[in-house]
A = this chain, B = another copy of it.
């Protein structure tokens, strides 16, 4: 269950269709991170006033993603209030097969799906008053939950989470729940060509976006070295490129080799160890 509030999770005047898409996407991403197959959802919409055009556009975006994943809208509520969208999404996973946060073990490898930093890169450009290239903007406005990958990683990944608050923050949850540390390689963090081009020559900003930028909705997971072939097959089956980005170690916290500690991340759960320069 996730709530998106206007002015916090999306800007005032945001495209209603994008809000509808994203509100469902962030919930499906939570299911993906647990290896669950989405089934149905409920939707509660608070609106300052009746606005049929906004609702129509919102539902267009919502429905487009819901149909991709066969998610039924089974109930909900519309009410008056500051613009906000709450969705509770439900899915199924076989007993005992849910991916969890507490199974990472020292020696496991750390993986990330797709590319990291695109959504935060788009947001950074927009905040500077620059246009965001389409490949970045689409990551910010129409994120694709990694549902197929999540179900494919059942029985393979030792721990999994979706990257919503930023890689360090979210992998930090896994480390804390599992009682382990992680060592990442900055050079191994997957970056899109669009992100590299947009921040060319500014490797610290690039790494900062990849490590601390949120809203990518990729999966970050851990798996034993011996499972590497099965991990790669799960990625191919889901049509998602996977990158090995580091290792699980004993201890606590996350260190990143080859990157300066990103400044100003400000996440409550931000945990980092000594960074190599």
Q: Name A residues whose Cβ lies closer than 8 Å to a Cβ of B.
A: 1-3, 5, 7-9, 42-44, 46, 75-77, 79-82, 84, 86, 88
Contact = CB atoms under 8 A, between A and B. Distances in A.
Nearest to A42: B1
A86 B84 CA distance: 10
14 contacts: A1-B44, A1-B75, A1-B88, A2-B44, A3-B44, A3-B81, A3-B84, A3-B86, A5-B46, A5-B81, A44-B88, A81-B84, A82-B82, A88-B88
Identical subunits present: 2
Contact of A81 (B44, B80, B82): B82
A9 B77 CA distance: 13
A8 B76 contact: no
Given A42-B88, A88-B42, A79 B1 contact: no
B43 A79 contact: no
A2 B77 contact: yes
A7 B5 CA distance: 16
Contacts of A77: 1-3
B9 A79 contact: yes
A3 to B, nearest CB: 4
Contacts of A8: 79-81
Contacts of A44: 1-3, 86, 88
A75 B7 CA distance: 24
Nearest to A88: B88
A2 B44 CA distance: 7
A42 B31 CA distance: 14
Contacts of A80: 5, 8
A31 to B, nearest CB: 11
A144 to B, nearest CB: 21
A244 to B, nearest CB: 31
Contacts of A88: 1, 42, 44, 86, 88
Contacts of A7: 81
A161 B217 CA distance: 40
A271 to B, nearest CB: 19
A77 B164 CA distance: 13
A82 B43 contact: no
Contact of A46 (B42, B75, B76, B84): B84
